[in-house]
Amino acid sequence: MTATVPKPLALRAAAAPYPALLAALAGVLTVSAVVATGIGPVGVPAGEVAGILAHHLTGGGDTAATADLIVWRIRFPRVLLGVVAGAGLALAGAVVQGVVRNPVADPYLLGLSHGASVGAVLVLTTGVAVLGALTLPAAAFCGAATAMALVLAMARQGGRLLPVRLILVGVAFGHLFAGITSFVLARTDSSAAQQQIIFWLLGGLSGTNWATLPVPAAVVAGATVLLLARARRLNALVLGEEAGAALGLNASRLRWQLLVLTTLLTGTVVAVSGGIGFVGLIVPHLARMLVGADHRRMLPVAVLLGGVFLLWADVAARMLISPAELPIGVLTAFLGVPFFLLVMRARGLAGQESA
């Protein structure tokens, strides 16, 4: 019977071989990181950047050269954080979309990003620093976790988590948290308050140094592994509660696990990069257009694409009105929206609507 079926079985619609695509994206990401590190008010040629990075990555110490200082101390950590934040937000968005079975979902939609902002802003305005450098990320995570807990508590009905209620409750809380953030910041008499409001609502990567990087990098890497391990079951979850149960899925438990991981991701990323919108919404769709809806194939692509996307958005943010900087959220919107609309028209999302 199986002899009549050609092998290997075509498990997807896209024609490009998947490993080649992943390798290409990883290549683009690496080259982008080197090139982007060279771009700034003081330009450093890509070759020199590569040399400096190679010197440090092979254990070489600091040198007195200005280029070395700019590349290794200032720009490279920032570029890496852009990659980590973009990857984390794209991953979180992809998973949230699957969990609530809704293609317009992202961490904002569940109130997570704004919850993280509230946590961070409360720490900033009260000046509490019990955990030292970890205080701010911890507070942002607590904010996201509180938001998630509130949303889950309100959305639960008879022990079950219903996607539509989750979205409605999340949107409502999201507005509340954004309001709290703006209120707290507007009330403080600090001259930096305006700047802070912009950062927590639109994001930014300026001021990044090496100390900023380890926590978000570890969280994004860990969450990627844990989420990939659940990608197959996420596919079944997308089919809905009933179909999931029929396939042997404990839908509620899986949803809880996925939402906790998403909260961790969002809280950690927002803590270091502010509230960067749009990445979590758009990048997953680009990934689906490239490799289809199967999360085992789509999540790694979303991670790489998210990294590349935010990296270049940050380059634009620091270059367009140099020496001043634009909030990166402005750039993700300016770059992301037209790009997404173009791709959507070219590729056609019609299939997604007729499903």
Residues that bind another protein (CB under 8 A): 1-2, 4-5, 7-13, 97-98, 101-103, 229-230, 232-233, 235-236, 238-243, 245-250, 288, 292-294, 351-352, 354-355
Q: Which is nearer to another protein, 189 or 353 (CB)?
A: 353
Torsion, CA 133, CA 139, CA 140, CA 146, rounded to 10: 160
Least distance (Å) from another protein to the CB of residue 298? 9
Positive or negative torsion for Cα 272, 145, 87, 336: negative
Single-letter amino acid, residue 344: M
Q: What gap in Å lies between CA 272 and CA 212, rounded to an integer? A: 7
Structure tokens at 253: 């438990």
- CA nearest 87: which of 351, 324, 344, 284? 284
Least distance (Å) from another protein to the CB of residue 5? 4
Q: Which is nearer to another protein, 272 or 293 (CB)?
A: 293
At 110, is the secondary structure helix, strand, or coil? coil
Structure tokens at 20: 């080649």
Specify whether the CB–CB gap between 249 and 235 falls below 8 A. no
Q: Which is nearer to another protein, 55 or 156 (CB)?
A: 156
Least distance (Å) from another protein to the CB of residue 97? 8
Least distance (Å) from another protein to the CB of residue 54? 35
Specify whether the CB–CB gap between 145 and 263 falls below 8 A. yes
Least distance (Å) from another protein to the CB of residue 98? 8
CA angle in degrees (0–180, nearest 5) for 175-154-147:
50
Least distance (Å) from another protein to the CB of residue 13? 5
Least distance (Å) from another protein to the CB of residue 229? 5
Structure tokens at 351: 């299939």
Residue reference for tokens 């509660």: 241
Q: What gap in Å lies between CA 143 and CA 264, rounded to an integer? A: 10
Q: Which is nearer to another protein, 150 or 249 (CB)?
A: 249
Least distance (Å) from another protein to the CB of residue 224? 15
Q: Which is nearer to another protein, 120 or 167 (CB)?
A: 167
Q: Which is nearer to another protein, 33 or 234 (CB)?
A: 234
Q: Which residue blocks in the chain are alpha helix, DSSP H?
A: 18-38, 46-57, 66-68, 76-99, 112-126, 135-155, 163-187, 193-202, 214-229, 231-238, 241-246, 251-273, 279-291, 295-319, 328-347, 350-354
